[in-house]
Amino acid sequence: MPPEKIELPPKYYLTYFQYLIDFVKKKYQHILNETEQQFLSDFEALTEDEKCLFIRFCNRTGSFFRTEKLKYTEIENIAESLNGLIDKGFVAPLSENHLTEAANVLDIFSKSELIELAKMLNLETRGKASLKKDEVLDWLLAVGNWDDMIYLLNSEDYANIHGLPHSLVRVLKETEVQMLKFLFFGSRHGDMTEFVTRDLGFQSYEKFDEDKMVAYFQTRQEVEDKLKVSLAREDFYLMQQADIEILDIYNWFMDWTATHRKELSEIAIPTYGTFSLRVALYLEKKKALDEALTIFRLTEESPSRERQVRILDKQKNREEAKALCELILAEPQNATEQFFAEDYVNRLEAILLKKKSKKAVTQQLHNSDSITIAATWKRQVEFGVINYYQERGMKAEFTENHLWRSLFGLLFWDIIFDTDSLAIHHPLQRSPSDLFKPTFFEKRKEKMEERLKMLEDEDATVIYMNRIFFEKFGLTNPLVEWYGGLFPLILTLLERLSPEQITLITLEMAKNLRQNLRGFPDLFIWGDAEYSFIEVKSPTDSLSNQQLFWLRFFESINVRSKVLRVEWDLVKDDN
């Protein structure tokens, strides 16, 4: 039988918004300012239908709305509710005060409607029908009179003749609503639709004791700092889309940094680091190397130091580039950084000695074994290799990163989502807020090491993994990729590797989850008394630094793994 269709109650969105408000009041009462407190008080004073209409506005894109488009069957009297929102300051009719937002106002109309408006303004519209809507909008903004437009858009005659609204409205209180959502989700990425996907069964979350959830922000300063960095990052993306001049973006960013960087709270520093990195990478891509280098130097977030070396090398400043590589080698952030720095220093030495140098990944690739398979596998090279081993009586699976990620996620499930870690802040969290931060392992090291002792008892391990897999199946965990064949594959992995090897690999992952969740070999193959992890490379593939890291790490702990180069058998393919 097909699963029973879930239907949400008519005013489900009011329930969600009220929950969000109550949650924020409980966790952040001490952080809310006077304006936000007043908003909460005023919102509670609205009628139920007024609340519903306001939330409908807030959950839609844009700030301006055409009132004749408002059709919500669960709201008994939309006109009455709208008038109530206007009287109580939650919505405002279109007026001369909205001149600076004229583009947003006109954008809610179609191209043909904009041309009709232009005709009523007695503007010459010949040839405008062949233009794109954005071009018509820009033209109308340039030549039209705003006061006349307001009069026409709000006139009853215009509405009756052209099917346009008697009244356009702008939603107010957006800043307060934005702040409530930001406090609840802890970021600008959270969306009220997450409640819907949960209740419709599309997403299932780990359940937490709400009393044990902790506020993401401790002070008002933390909130405002992270929010302003997030908003600045959004401004940058808009500048990219608008194709703003590179030097203008650079000057804007440096002015913003000079004004705000020194006062940022610790919680906002990682967001600023990511922001800086994105701007610098964009400038580098646009060939503004001096400007990119300046911004890269503002953050050490990977791959900032690598990019600095590459720019310095292009600028023939190799002494400084080498010095930076030596700093990297003294304390590498990850494998990619380490191998890049090693290769760069070796290349400089080879130049001095007038010798050729090879990258570590290139040497590893050239020294690897190879097999020949039919060229029909060119677009599915890994599955061609799987077929190669299966024809020889071996079992083989394409596992790449997901096997190791899933093992980690299941083995440490309760430790990852432990509310004692102070990283669980709301009931819709897909992962703890520190999952990809250095503090993740620092907080959980003792509990993880204690859990790994269980591996010495094979029966206890199987019982535990069986319980976790089937108890948690389908719940959201960014580390676990759910499918039916995962559990037996994990058991096979646990059978083939020793407890010591599993311990060393999972602890190495935990030290830097952001980097070390990737780069694992493509295939896991095994037989009665043998196994191997295989990184498959077609003739045009190269080996990444992170892949080399795990190959070397596996070798150091006697886990069987190798790179396997594939060559094409064109003759067999022709036959």
User: Residue 111 has which token pair?
Assistant: 């191209």
State whether 432 and 538 are in the same domain: yes
Show which of 357, 389, 421 is a domain's final residue.
Answer: 357
- For position 365, what pLDDT does the model report? 79
State whether 341 and 467 are in the same domain: no
- What span, in angstroms and rounded, lies between the C-alpha atoms of 224 and 233? 14
**H helix intervals, 497-544:** 499-511, 513-516
Q: What tens-digit pLDDT sequence spans the chain (575 residues)?
A: 455 778 899 999 999 999 999 999 999 999 999 999 999 999 999 999 999 999 999 999 999 998 888 899 999 999 999 999 999 999 999 888 888 999 999 999 999 999 999 998 999 999 999 999 999 999 999 998 988 888 888 765 554 444 434 478 999 999 999 999 999 999 998 899 999 999 999 999 999 999 999 999 999 999 999 999 999 999 999 999 998 999 999 999 999 999 999 999 999 999 999 999 999 999 999 999 999 999 999 998 999 999 999 999 999 999 999 999 999 999 999 999 999 999 999 999 888 776 777 777 778 878 888 899 999 999 999 999 999 999 999 999 999 999 999 999 999 999 999 999 999 999 999 999 999 998 999 999 999 999 999 999 999 999 999 999 999 999 999 999 999 899 999 999 999 999 999 999 999 999 999 999 999 999 999 998 899 999 999 988 889 999 999 999 999 999 999 999 999 987 655 44
User: Residue 322 has which token pair?
Assistant: 């080498």
- What span, in angstroms and rounded, lies between the C-alpha atoms of 174 and 172? 5
- For position 356, what pLDDT does the model report? 72
State whether 506 and 426 are in the same domain: yes
Q: For the packed helices 335-352 and 318-330, what is the interaxial angle rounded to 10 degrees?
A: 140
- What span, in angstroms and rounded, lies between the C-alpha atoms of 371 and 204? 44
State whether 522 and 463 are in the same domain: yes
Q: What count of other Cβ atoms lies within 10 Å of the Cβ of residue 258? A: 9
State whether 37 and 177 are in the same domain: yes
State whether 291 and 370 are in the same domain: no
Domain that holds residue 154: 97-166
- For position 572, what pLDDT does the model report? 57
Using one digit for the tens of pLDDT, what is the confidence trace for 121-157? 999 999 999 999 999 999 999 998 988 888 888 765 5
State whether 271 and 326 are in the same domain: yes
State whether 374 and 443 are in the same domain: yes
Q: Is there a contact between 469 and 454 (Cβ–Cβ < 8 Å)?
A: no
- Please return the burial class of 168, using the count of CB atoms within 10 Å of its CB with bins 0-12, 13-18 and 19+: buried
- For position 573, what pLDDT does the model report? 53
Q: Is there a contact between 378 and 457 (Cβ–Cβ < 8 Å)?
A: no
Domain of residue 288, CATH code: 1.25.40
State whether 436 and 475 are in the same domain: yes
User: Residue 397 has which token pair?
Assistant: 């699976």
Longest Cα–Cα distance in the chain: 87
**H helix intervals, 261-359:** 269-285, 289-296, 304-314, 318-330, 335-352
User: Residue 18 has which token pair?
Assistant: 């009220």
User: Residue 451 has which token pair?
Assistant: 């859990």
268 sits in which H/E element: none
Residue type for 197, please? Answer: T
- What span, in angstroms and rounded, lies between the C-alpha atoms of 17 and 23? 10
State whether 243 and 315 are in the same domain: yes
- What span, in angstroms and rounded, lies between the C-alpha atoms of 435 and 466? 24
Using one digit for the tens of pLDDT, what is the confidence trace for 35-61? 999 999 999 999 999 999 999 999 999
- For position 3, what pLDDT does the model report? 59
DSSP symbols for 414-476: HHHT-GGGS---STT-SS-TTTTSTHHHHHHHHHHHHHHGGGGSHHHHHHHHHHHHHHHTTB-
- For position 349, what pLDDT does the model report? 87
Show which of 203, 229, 257 is a domain's final residue.
Answer: 203
- What span, in angstroms and rounded, lies between the C-alpha atoms of 382 and 414? 34
Q: In total, how many domains does the chain have?
A: 4
Q: What count of other Cβ atoms lies within 10 Å of the Cβ of residue 481? A: 13
- What span, in angstroms and rounded, lies between the C-alpha atoms of 525 and 474? 27
pTM: 0.88
User: Residue 258 has which token pair?
Assistant: 């000079």
- For position 376, what pLDDT does the model report? 92
State whether 183 and 265 are in the same domain: no
Residue pointed to by tokens 């610790």: 266
State whether 273 and 244 are in the same domain: yes
Show which of 185, 203, 221 is a domain's final residue.
Answer: 203
- Please return the burial class of 574, using the count of CB atoms within 10 Å of its CB with bins 0-12, 13-18 and 19+: exposed
